[in-house]
Structure formats: C-alpha cells, structure tokens
Structure 1
Amino acid sequence: MASNDVVNAQIVDAMSTVNTGVVGDAPSIAVGTLYQSLAHASGIAMLNATANQQNLNQLNPAIVSQAVAKINSES
C-alpha cells in the first residue's frame, strides 16, 4: 500500500530540476543523433561509390579487349 509519508521539499526540488534538465536536453540529443546517423549514411554511400568505381576499373580492360577482338574478327 502507498504510504502517506511527507517527502522532503529539497528532494522534490532536486528531482524537478533533474527532470527539467532531461526534458531540456532531449531535443539537442535527438538532433545530435540524427546528424551522426546522417554522417554515417553519407560515409557508407561514399564507400559504396568507391567500391563500385574500383570494380568498374577492373572490368573495363576486359570490355575493351572483347570489343577489340570483335572488331578484329570482322575485318
């Protein structure tokens, strides 16, 4: 059962101050998390673009040699 004991006013004031601080900090923490996620996603996108470019750089000589072979076979 709930007790009807009186809580010290200093305790109530301290808890109120802490709760106000938490509520006040929440938006900035949320925006910070959003920016961090955005930076991470951008980094992953750059990494994927670099990997795709490297893969195409490996594929290009094979494509060129096949095209040259086709051109030479038609002559």
Structure 2
Amino acid sequence: MLSMKTVLEIFETEAENASKTKLGYIGYLSNLIEQEFLVKTDRSINRKIQTAKFPSLKTIFRCQCFHRRIIHKYL
C-alpha cells in the first residue's frame, strides 16, 4: 500500500490554491506529488543521518571559529 500522508494533509489547501491561480488538474496533482516527494526525501535524509551515528554535528560556524583560534595561536 502506498502511504501519502503529506498529500492527505495538504490536498484541500492545494485545491483552493489551484482554483485561485487557475491551475489545471495536472498542475494540481504535480504540486501534491512534488510536496510528498520533498517531505519523504527530507525524512529519509534525516533518518540516514541519525542511523549513521556520526560522532558530532559540526557546522560551518564552529569550523570557522576553530580555524580562527589556530591562526591567532600562531601569529
């Protein structure tokens, strides 16, 4: 069975938006499927990151601060 939770949550509001913007049935369905795809992809990526059990989460900001400390240490 195909699970499309996002489509179930947003189909009414998307139908109203499609009606207001005079979007055809194909465009309406395309928007629904696109939103479902984006949500499932995002969930999949987050699940894979969690199961990978990386030692720590590093951000660009933390890396930049670290490099600045090293540079100042040697000046």
Please confirm whether the aligned pair reaches a TM-score higher than 0.5, indicating the same fold. no
If the length of structure 2 is used for normalisation, what is the TM-score? 0.40
Query: What TM-score do you get using the length of structure 1 for normalisation?
Result: 0.40
Whose RCO is larger (CA < 8 A, sep 6+)? 2
**Greater gyration radius:** 1
